[in-house]
A and B are shown apart, each in its own frame.
Chain A
Amino acid sequence: DTEVTQTPKHLVMGMTNKKSLKCEQHMGHRAMYWYKQKAKKPPELMFVYSYEKLSINESVPSRFSPECPNSSLLNLHLHALQPEDSALYLCASSPKPHRDSNYEQYFGPGTRLTVT
């Protein structure tokens, strides 16, 4: 089973709203990632969690706040977003961080976010 699930599939939010994206994997993976993808562009890394600790923050604005409650779950809390934050938000996981060895990352289907 190489499934990463994400909810919701679609989300429309106003600039003053607070919402959260959820990601879940049950493969025992110890590294989880958030990516942002704009149309016709490659995924851009936002955050990496290794063993439930934040290990990489790619200078993401503080209106995006990640959380890893346990080894299977990853959340992305959203607050006061801008219309330009509208994108596909992808979650991924890998068995271990690449620091230990090379592993492929498995992606979820994404959450299509629209900020109005």
Chain B
Amino acid sequence: DQQVKQNSPSLSVQEGRISILNCDYTNSMFDYFLWYKKYPAEGPTFLISISSIKDKNEDGRFTVFLNKSAKHLSLHIVPSQPGDSAVYFCAASAMVTSGSRLTFGEGTQLTVNP
């Protein structure tokens, strides 16, 4: 049962434009959501997170939006840069029920073209 889904395996964007990566979840107990970036042969790097009590969190070029009623979150990168090219994983956790478990989506390969 895929509780966190990233339906787009890949996304290609021009440098300077906005990148929008999407993530859907099915478990209504999830209360904390994270985005990670991963380069080949490296571990995932934490980017940004959002608690379920918020609907938006911003950090520099990165903004995460959470729509709890739709069980959907998105990561916006503005402006996109070639160095942003990587695999982006969405992850979720449920503090009460699953303790320290992070459930990851399958990832989206972002390519930013110069």
Q: What is A's interface to B at a CB cutoff of 8 Å? A: 2, 4, 6, 31, 33, 40-43, 45, 48, 50, 55-56, 88, 90, 92, 94, 97-99, 101-102, 104-110, 112
Most buried by B among A6, A92, A105, A108: A105
B99:A97 contact, CB within 8 angstroms: yes
> Which of chain B's residues have a CB closer than 8 A to the CB of A4?
43
**Shortest beta-carbon distance from B45 to chain A in Å:** 7
B100:A56 contact, CB within 8 angstroms: yes
> Which of chain B's residues have a CB closer than 8 A to the CB of A56?
99-101
A98:B89 contact, CB within 8 angstroms: no
A45:B44 contact, CB within 8 angstroms: no
A42:B107 contact, CB within 8 angstroms: yes
A102:B100 contact, CB within 8 angstroms: no
B29 is an interface residue with CB less than 8 A from chain A = no
Identify 27 residue pairs between A and B in the complex whose beta-carbon atoms are under 8 Å apart, listed by A's number. Answer: A31-B100, A40-B107, A41-B106, A42-B89, A42-B107, A43-B44, A43-B104, A48-B99, A48-B100, A50-B100, A56-B100, A90-B43, A92-B43, A94-B100, A97-B99, A98-B32, A98-B93, A98-B95, A98-B98, A98-B101, A99-B95, A101-B95, A102-B51, A105-B102, A106-B46, A107-B36, A110-B41
> Which of chain B's residues have a CB closer than 8 A to the CB of A106?
46
**Shortest beta-carbon distance from A7 to chain B in Å:** 13
State in angstroms the CA–CA spacing of A112 and B41 once bound together. Answer: 8
State in angstroms the CA–CA spacing of A88 and B89 once bound together. Answer: 16
Contact of A97 among B42, B51, B100 (CB under 8 A): B100
Interface size of B in residues (CB-CB distance below 8 Å) = 24
State in angstroms the CA–CA spacing of A50 and B100 once bound together. Answer: 9
Contact of B99 among A40, A43, A55 (CB under 8 A): A55
Most buried by A among B46, B49, B98: B46
**A42 and B105 in contact, given A98-B95, A99-B95, A102-B95 (Cβ under 8 angstroms):** yes
> Which of chain B's residues have a CB closer than 8 A to the CB of A104?
34, 46, 49
Contact of A110 among B42, B98, B99, B100 (CB under 8 A): B42
